[in-house]
A and B are shown apart, each in its own frame.
Chain A
């Protein structure tokens, strides 16, 4: 069994029932609004946002800064409670999904613990919530390091790794335990373009191999279109859905697809949606 097959099959027993009950939808977001009250004013970060992602899907959340795309991701992860509306994650509430360890989260800065080696960072989730053991058949931390292309760097400390490598470690950490939903908040935003391109290709590969559902926040049109099976375009002030677009490109794609006609047609359309007045 390969690492990828192990990841795809590593679902805790308790989750099987829930999965059968709601086999098709990974995330269902209905009329979700989030408001932040401050002394000076009340900010509507998200206004009446609805969308769904199928199991095994790859949704890019695309929008300018301030459109609430990171906030939306945090509502899915139960880091922020919605002011109104309902969010369903893997057929349960976000809280239940979080407590069940069904989620992996990749942050904008890799958020590695600097006193732990790369491998120890990947192992961290096992030490939280009482000592946990990996679900049967799930890939080990070492296997995940290999999956993200970091075999041989296990003993390195974060400050000895490049930005791209740190982000790979954080992806491996998020994949530990075989999460059914991977949430990524502009993970490649701080990287140079060459590294970003390479990681984009690898993320597509990891997604195809693991069949994990991914929600990916970005403000790059190219990234959103290349990575996603569908793209949710958001507008700012207040954050709301501008359009939901299915990307009709072959599942097996490499970066050269960005030079093709269909890709550019979609990208142009998306830029139009982003540039248009409200």
Chain B
């Protein structure tokens, strides 16, 4: 039925003209969306360079963009060797924190008593700021990778827990009744219904915790470390090496953005349906 209609439409020149025009418009729209942000960034850098030049800002207060680029090139090895520890810490913390969050959310949804007992405690711990939690973890776990991974894990944990619980619970009540009519076990309800239902919620939490786990790792390195993006930021600041400071911040942000985008990419591959909230 539909197939014959489609063939007729393709053969109609008015339809194919309209489609071609629609594609052209779409393409222009796509280019606009790519070019305009780049223009904005270039203007920002231009204003920055102009301000530094006009007011003759000394290099120990703020560098010009050109010195930052020069430093980025000359100290590329230093920057990269300090990036890797931060990558390991934030990705490690991200994985551990989110795994625990997903597991705990699953338990919370199935055992109300456990949820009602421990959820307030989790909220309480989460209300402590990261900068206050970090020293506690450093004292507990020493000076190596462990405390930084722990801080990144703790910071990733909470948004995922909350979103995952909501995603597992907010199933369509009629789909739930359907499962009951089919005499589904709790396990089947989880794997056929709840888990899929939670995926859009999980990914929006993962995107948040991808960037916040990087923050966690860097904060951990501020408190006690000789390596990593956080340590390099502190060193550069104390040495009034503003160009190195800016280059380090740049490297950290690029990593954070890449991490965030990678999660978005995985989401697009996994969640191929339209979530009900969007429809």
CB distance from A105 to the nearest CB of B (A): 5
Known: A77-B181, A128-B183, A157-B273. 11 other contacts (CB 8 A): A105-B177, A107-B174, A107-B178, A113-B175, A114-B276, A115-B271, A124-B182, A124-B192, A127-B188, A127-B192, A129-B188
Count how many chain B residues have C-beta atoms less than 8 Å from C-beta atoms of the other chain. 27
- Which one of B1, B183, B193, B196 has the highest number of Cβ atoms from chain A below 10 Å of its Cβ? B183
CB pair A105 B181 closer than 8 Å: yes
- B261: interface (CB < 8 Å): no
- A98: interface (CB < 8 Å): yes
Select one of B182, B184, B193, B273 contacting A159, CB under 8 A: B273
- A276: interface (CB < 8 Å): no
In the assembly, what is the distance between CA of A78 and CA of B181, in Å?
8
Contacts of B253 in A (CB 8 A): none
CB pair A152 B188 closer than 8 Å: no
CB pair A125 B180 closer than 8 Å: no
CB distance from B54 to the nearest CB of A (A): 55
CB distance from A167 to the nearest CB of B (A): 12
Count how many chain A residues have C-beta atoms less than 8 Å from C-beta atoms of the other chain. 26
Q: Which residue in chain A gives the minimum CB-CB distance to B171? A: A113
CB pair A98 B183 closer than 8 Å: yes
- A249: interface (CB < 8 Å): no
In chain A, residues 94-116, which have Cβ atoms closer than 8 Å to a Cβ of chain B? Answer: 98-99, 101, 103-105, 107-109, 111, 113-115
CB pair A79 B273 closer than 8 Å: no
Interface residues of A (CB under 8 A from B): 74, 77-79, 98-99, 101, 103-105, 107-109, 111, 113-115, 124-125, 127-129, 152, 157-159
User: Can you name 6 A-B pairs with beta carbons within 8 Å?
Assistant: A74-B177, A79-B177, A108-B174, A109-B174, A111-B177, A113-B192
Contacts of A78 in B (CB 8 A): 180-181
CB pair B2 A101 closer than 8 Å: no
CB distance from B223 to the nearest CB of A (A): 43
CB pair A128 B192 closer than 8 Å: yes
Select one of A74, A111, A157, A159 contacting B178, CB under 8 A: A111
Select one of B1, B199, B279 contacting A152, CB under 8 A: B1
CB distance from A23 to the nearest CB of B (A): 24
Contacts of A159 in B (CB 8 A): 273-274, 279
Question: What string of 1s and 0s marks CB contacts (under 8 Å) between B256-278 and chain A?
Answer: 00000000000000011111100
CB pair B193 A79 closer than 8 Å: no
In the assembly, what is the distance between CA of A127 and CA of B273, in Å?
20
Question: What string of 1s and 0s marks CB contacts (under 8 Å) between B23-42 and chain A?
Answer: 00000000000000000000
CB pair B273 A128 closer than 8 Å: no
Contacts of A128 in B (CB 8 A): 179, 182-184, 188, 192
In the assembly, what is the distance between CA of A134 and CA of B279, in Å?
33
CB distance from A19 to the nearest CB of B (A): 20
